[in-house]
Amino acid sequence: MSVTAPPQPPRAAKPVVRPGDRIFAGTARVAALTIMLALAGVFVFLALEGYPGLSAPERIYAPATDFWSYVGPLVFGTILAACVALVIAVPFSIGVALFISHYAPPRVAVPIAYVIDLLAAVPSVVYGLWGGLALAPATRPLIDWLYDNLSFIPFFAGPPSVTGRTMLTAGIVLAIMVVPITTAISREVFAQTPRLHEEAAMALGATRWEMIRLAVFPYARSGVISAVMLGLGRALGETMAVAMVLSATPVVTLNLISNSNPATIASNIASNYKEATPDKQAVLIATGLVLFAVTFVVNFAARWVISRGERNLTR
């Protein structure tokens, strides 16, 4: 002990920490870290196992010649199928969610909400079976009509498929799978619109629809966009339903109603993985890595769009 040492300032009393708080904070932190680790682990696996697939022998990529021309149509197919699904599902979901939260009497709204939630519980294989066997033939009159009347739009350039197993059918099946997710979340955010804002609109003489536009939509905007993002995630990654509906050819085409449709990355993996040689497997895993990247890019792009929109609002 040294006499020259300056006297220690009295130590500040320790803040009180309750064990309950500490345990809870610890658990939450561990959970958050686990998710990050799992995601990183998946990425590392895909990168290591898929790396050889980027430069496999040329015959593996047949009919394409290298990895990028092999994965290109798949990426295109994935995004096209997801877009078709969202174009169908989003307006539909918002409509159903609004009906449940603002239009229907509770007696009707509760059962409808329940049935919609139930749709999410149906396994995707079942949707695939239904899409391939029942929906595909049933869409034939629709695609014939689209071809006859709207063939000047590239989406409906035809010639119409005779089986009905088209990108359009795949998109509809995906849409049905996306609807429960987007509907459930949209409904929750719509229902949480503060009464005060709704009454403010109505007291100004807004009709029901004007009230929804003035008070409900602005309030629910970011929640609905999150709902769409989750739905998009499901549409991008969905495997079986697409694999069972589409007979795939590696083409890049906007044509939604013809016989030749690009597969999606996920459905391509599902239909080829079983019989694949190790080389082919590496290629498939590499396509998985591309899907991983695509999902990331799409999500970040969407977040960026949202945050830009919100900055505009608060300006």
- In angstroms, give the least distance from the CB of 300 to other proteins: 24
What whole-number distance in Å separates Cα of residue 98 and Cα of residue 115? Answer: 15
What whole-number distance in Å separates Cα of residue 204 and Cα of residue 225? Answer: 28
Which residues, 6+ apart, have CB-to-CB distance to 190 below 8 Å? 97, 98, 101, 102, 216, 220
Binding mask 52-91 for other proteins (x = CB under 8 A): ----------------------------------------
What whole-number distance in Å separates Cα of residue 22 and Cα of residue 17? Answer: 7
Beta carbon nearer to other proteins, 21 or 210:
210
Beta carbon nearer to other proteins, 27 or 207:
207
How many other β-carbons are positioned within 10 Å of the β-carbon of residue 185? Answer: 21
Interface positions, 219-258, toward other proteins (CB under 8 A): 219, 221
Interface residue with other proteins among 210, 273, 277, 278 (CB under 8 A) is 210
**How big is the site for other proteins, counted in residues (CB under 8 A)?**
23
Beta carbon nearer to other proteins, 198 or 238:
198
Amino acid letter at 194? P
> Does the footprint of other proteins cover residue 147 (CB under 8 A)?
no
Interface positions, 255-274, toward other proteins (CB under 8 A): none
Interface residue with other proteins among 69, 149, 207, 277 (CB under 8 A) is 207
CA atoms within 13 A on the CB side of 292: 16
- In angstroms, give the least distance from the CB of 310 to other proteins: 9
What whole-number distance in Å separates Cα of residue 30 and Cα of residue 23? Answer: 11
Binding mask 184-203 for other proteins (x = CB under 8 A): ----------x-xx-xxxxx
| Nearest one of 67, 66, 86 to 288, comparing CA atoms | 67
Write down the H helix ranges in the chain.
19-50, 67-98, 106-119, 124-130, 136-138, 140-150, 167-191, 195-203, 208-211, 217-237, 240-245, 265-272, 278-314
Binding mask 281-310 for other proteins (x = CB under 8 A): ------------------------------
| Nearest one of 148, 143, 149 to 168, comparing CA atoms | 143
> Does the footprint of other proteins cover residue 104 (CB under 8 A)?
no
> Does the footprint of other proteins cover residue 313 (CB under 8 A)?
yes
- Measured between its terminal Cα atoms, the distance across the chain in Å is 62
Beta carbon nearer to other proteins, 29 or 208:
208
DSSP one-letter code for 215: I
Interface residue with other proteins among 95, 159, 218, 278 (CB under 8 A) is 218
Beta carbon nearer to other proteins, 213 or 303:
213
- In angstroms, give the least distance from the CB of 271 to other proteins: 46
Give the binding site for other proteins (CB under 8 A). 105-106, 194, 196-197, 199-207, 210, 214-215, 218-219, 221, 313-315
